[in-house]
Amino acid sequence: MPIYQAPVQEIRYVLNDVFGYEREVASLPGYEDATPDLVDAVLEEAAKLCENELQPLNLSGDEEGCHYENGVVRTPRGFKEAYRTFIEGGWTGLSCDPKYGGQGLPKVVNFAFEELISSANMSFGMYPGLSIGAYNAIELWASDELKDLYLPKLADGTWAGTMCLTEPHCGTDLGLIRTKAVPADDGSFKITGTKIFISAGEHDLTDNIVHLVLAKLPDAPPGTRGISLFIVPKFLPKQDGDGWAPGERNGVRCGSIEHKMGIKASSTCVMNFEEATGWLVGGEHKGMRAMFAMMNAARLGVGVQGLGVAEVAYQNAAEYAKERGQGRALKGAKYPDRPADPIVVHPDVRRMLLKSRAMTEGARALALWTGMQIDQSQKHPDADRRAEADDFVALMTPIMKALFTDHGYEAANLAMQVHGGHGYIHEYGIEQFARDARITQIYEGANGIQALDLIGRKLPTGGGRLLRRFFHPMQKFLEEASADPEMGDFTRPLIKAFANLQQLTLHIAQQGLADPEEAGAAASDYLRFFGLVSLGWMWARMAQVSLKKLDDDPSGFHKNKLATGRFYMKKVLPETASLGLSIMAGKKTLMEMEDAAF
């Protein structure tokens, strides 16, 4: 049975010591009550929920999976009870607006909570995660009437949400969708079509499910310019006293559920819409604008899923490595009182553990820093600062999604390798981490698409404006930090990698203008290069803090933090050198072979 302990101390360290949460977030208008002490209490309760309620259901939920019969989906044993506990604790509305019944906590707190859920039970987390995505899109783009109806139900978790994009013949290229929306006389629309791969499309956890559906009006222009977004509830809402309740069944049914490699306790559905009643969100032919608000938040959320799986995989690998006796240390018995030394003494096992740990801790710092930027982009009183923060989040979105999910899958596989044959056996739970993590590299835009988004959209925006939100503050940090000789282990390799990143960025921009395939050939390597430098910056910032705290470090927390950071700088960041060579090699070896030769 796998173990899990929520890394509350790590989160507290990053938020308060490294990034100054009280100064950067708790001082923002509307967040004055979200003090570090309050956030700490929330995280402690979140840890109890995830460790005691959600994590024990992870393995059994994977074994049982979801059940489908005649359009009805039942979640695994224990999920309904856990969901009831979840919503009674107000966890669905953690960062939702108090106007609609939410608790109004900063988005960065929700980021931290999402990591804990993803570590404890990724399948369970899909259900409330989709609801918050629907909440965000409705809050941004729907009419006040629709907001007042749906947002309180999504915030309190009694109703759930989905996003219905993909169709059998198209995924990434949404301009090809065939789902139709025909105007009705009462201002609503009749939605007809089929959507596939719909996470949480049907289940038994809530009274109603609110689908956000992409469809095209009869007069829609071709491609993505003709897409509109609609709210299509499973049950049509009816007035119930001062509130709303599920009424007549709408024309939407689950046709089947997918039998998947992982996240088996999360229902992945084929949804059939047959003249289902829906309401327009965000204006006619403006659906992509509204859906991207939901999709970009979902991409960040998926990145956090990768982080969560990486953390729990590392914890289990480290625990096993300290207990499993196998052979002796290369320099002789380190634990002579035991029949064999634990495998943690072996250099290659340490390589795997430290790779997972260094990437995970760096990723957590970047995730929480990005979450704080989201809060600043929404709440900061200075419009220029809001715009800067929003630019930073836009730049980091494809990097977080791709880098973190690639790492989550790698960490799960490394944990399996540390466990050896036991990692391949189901009851140890390690192989489930690998199966669950694998989907994160695919959904919400496969990681290759994220790389193209970074190269093709984010880099050129505003003549490189988004890049400046990253390059300028990092340059300033390195100039100041390099003056401290104690920081040399962190600044020297990072200065070199950062300079190479800037040079490669210019090279790709020039090559891409002349030949888009050159940019495309470099995209995935460039994203990983950028991501590794980003984590290097996070590690340098953490090192700067921990160096100052070494004199009062009875637990060894800061000593271990610095040791992990040095491993990152000397063993992980150098990957950028080979990535740079690959980028400079260009497109020729990728594109010279004829299509028919594959």
Residues with a catalytic annotation lie at 444
Q: CA-to-CA distance for 424 and 413, rounded, in angstroms? A: 10
Cα 208 to Cα 123, 161, 200, 457, 563, distances in angstroms? 19, 9, 12, 37, 50
**Residue pair 141/282 in contact by the 8 Å Cβ criterion:** yes
Q: CA-to-CA distance for 570 and 128, rounded, in angstroms? A: 40
Tokens of 502: 């800037």
Q: Which residues contact 305 (CB under 8 A, 6 or more apart)?
A: 114, 118, 122, 125, 405, 408, 437, 440
**Residue pair 150/131 in contact by the 8 Å Cβ criterion:** no
Bridge partners of 256?
270
**Residue pair 367/118 in contact by the 8 Å Cβ criterion:** no
**Residue pair 451/523 in contact by the 8 Å Cβ criterion:** yes
Q: Nearest Cα to 316, choosing from 551, 55, 501?
A: 55
Q: CA-to-CA distance for 458 and 512, rounded, in angstroms? A: 13
In this structure, the dihedral spanned by the alpha carbons of residues 509, 512, 517 and 519, taken in order and rounded to 10 degrees, is 10
DSSP state letter for 536: H
Tokens of 321: 């490595």
Bridge partners of 281?
229
Q: Nearest Cα to 188, choosing from 252, 251, 274, 276?
A: 276
What three-state secondary structure class fits 20?
coil
In this structure, the dihedral spanned by the alpha carbons of residues 256, 261, 265 and 266, taken in order and rounded to 10 degrees, is -60
Q: CA-to-CA distance for 544 and 555, rounded, in angstroms? A: 18
**Residue pair 188/279 in contact by the 8 Å Cβ criterion:** yes
187: left (phi over 0), alpha (psi -120 to 50) or beta: left
Q: Kindly report the CA angle at 472 between 466 and 476, in degrees rounded to 5?
A: 160
**Residue pair 198/232 in contact by the 8 Å Cβ criterion:** no
Phi, psi of 209 (to 5 degrees): -130, 125
Q: CA-to-CA distance for 104 and 25, rounded, in angstroms? A: 13
Alpha helices, H only, 549-598: 557-567, 575-584, 588-591
Q: Nearest Cα to 491, choosing from 559, 527, 544, 454?
A: 544
**Residue pair 269/198 in contact by the 8 Å Cβ criterion:** yes
Q: CA-to-CA distance for 167 and 405, rounded, in angstroms? A: 24
Q: CA-to-CA distance for 524 and 75, rounded, in angstroms? A: 37
Q: CA-to-CA distance for 62 and 51, rounded, in angstroms? A: 17
